[in-house]
Amino acid sequence: MTARGLFALCLLTVGPAFAAPFVYVTNERSANVTVIDAATDKPLYNLHTGGRPRGIQVSADGRTVYVARSDPQFNKQSPLDSILAIDVAKKRVTAHLDAGSDPEQFAVSRDGKRLFITNEDAGTASVTDLAQRKVTATLVVGVEPEGVALSPDGRWIYVTAETSNTVSVIDTKRNEVVSSFLVDPRPRAAAFSPDGTRAWITSEIGGTVSVVDVKHHEVIAAIDLALRAKPVGIVVSPDGRWVYVANGHGDSISVVDAKKLEAVNVVRVGRRPWGLALTPDGRKLYTANGLSNDVSVIDTKALKVIATIPVGEGPWGVAIAPGADSAK
C-alpha cells in the first residue's frame, strides 16, 4: 500500500469520530432552517420549510432532523400543519408527516418509531407513527399544551400546558395519559436529567423552574430565577450537573446548579432567547434569540458568549445532530 493510500484510509477511519456536529435552527418568521457548522460556528446554508417552523428534534440515530411546521395564520388548520423530516446526509426535506393541528413541540421516541406532538389550539397531544406517517392516537392534555420531553429510558413523556398550569404524563408503553400535576403559572418547557430521576419544568409567568421527582411524578421544589426572568427553553448538561434556562424576554440564560437547586449564574445573550441545545460533550450551548435574529454560542466552562451567529427571522428552536454521517 502506498503512503497516500494509507493516509486516505486513516482519514476514513478517524474522520467520523472527529466530525463536529451541525446545529439546526428553526426560523419561525422566515420559514426556514439555518444549518450551522459547530466546528467554525458559521452558518452553512438554509433549508426552506414554508409555514411557521418551531419545534425541532433529532432522531436517536442522528440521521433525521424533524421540524414542527404550522400555519403562520393563527388557529387556521391547513396543509401546512405537519412535521417535516430532514435527511441530514441528503440535506433536504424527505417526508411530510401527519401531526394534528398547529403542531408546536414534540419528542421522538427512543426507538425512532413514534413522534409525540402537542397541538396547541386543540389541547391535545398527537402520537404519529413514523412508518405509517399518520396520527395513530390523540390524547387529551391541558389547555394550550406546549412543551414535550421524553425520559431517558423512553418510558415517560411530559407535556406542559400553558393555561391550565399542568404537566400531563404520557406512558409511552400504553399511549395514555396516566397522571397530571400542577406547576407554577405558564409552564413552557420540560427537560429530564440524564439519569432520569429528575425533570425540570420552566414556568414563564411564575419565573421559576419546578423540580420533579420522576419516580412519583411529583414537584419537590421550585427554583426562583433572577429578577425579570421569563423562563422558557431548558436543557440539562450531559453530566446532569447543570441546568440551563433560556429567560425569554429577560434576554439571558440562567445556570442552575442541579445539586444545590439554585440559580448560580446569568449570562446575557441576544434578545428573547427561546430554544436551547448543547453539543454532545456539553461544552457549547446554543440559544435561538427570537427578537435579535441570531444564535448566541456560550462556552459552558467560561460562561461567556464566544460567538453570535446571524440566522433567519424569528429563530425559535435549536437542535444538534452529530456530524459523523456527513463524513461518509
Partner 1 sequence: MTTRRRFLQLTATALAWTGSGRLVRAETRHLLLAQILPATQSTAASQGALLAAEEAARTAELLGTHLELRVGQPGEATALIDQGALALIGGLDASARAALAKLAEALGVPLLTTRAPGDTSPDEPLREHVFHVASSPRDRREALARWKGQESVEIVDWHPSLKRFGAEQLNQRYKERFGTAMEPLAWTSWMAVKAAAEAALRGADTPAELSRRLGTLGFDGHKGLRLRFRPSDHHLQQPLYAVSGVLAEIAPEENDE
Q: Does 227 bind partner 1 (CB under 8 A)?
A: yes
**Residue ranges in 230-249 that form contacts with partner 1 under rule CB under 8 A:** 249
The maximal CA–CA distance of the chain, rounded, in angstroms, is 68
Q: If binding is defined by CB under 8 A, does position 188 make contact with partner 1?
A: no
| Selected binder of partner 1 within 77, 101, 164, 326 (CB under 8 A) | 164
Under the binding rule (CB under 8 A), the answer on residue 205 touching partner 1 is yes
In angstroms, the CA 229 to CA 244 distance is 13
Least separation in angstroms between residue 225's CB and partner 1 is 12
In a 13 Å sphere around the CA of 89, the CA atoms on its Cβ side amount to: 9
User: Contacting partner 1 (CB under 8 A), which of 12, 39, 143, 221?
Assistant: 143
Cβ-Cβ contacts under 8 Å for 64 (sequence gap 6 or more): 58, 85, 86, 87, 88
Residues 249-308 interacting with partner 1 (rule: CB under 8 A): 249
The whole-angstrom separation of Cα 141 and Cα 170 is: 9
Residue 11, interface with partner 1 (CB under 8 A)?
A: no
Candidates 177, 222, 324, 327; binder of partner 1 (CB under 8 A) is: 177
Options 26-34, 142-150, 278-286, 290-298: segment touching partner 1 (CB under 8 A): 142-150
By C-beta, is 178 or 264 nearer to partner 1?
A: 178
For partner 1, which is the closer residue by CB, 100 or 323? 100
Q: What is the DSSP letter of 293?
A: T
- Cα 181 from Cα 166, distance rounded (Å): 5
Q: Is 175 near partner 1 (CB under 8 A)?
A: no
122 touches partner 1 (CB under 8 A): yes
Minimal CA–CA distance to 282: which of 255, 263, 260, 309?
255
Pairing of strands 284-289, 145-150: unpaired
| Residue 228 makes contact with partner 1 by CB under 8 A | yes
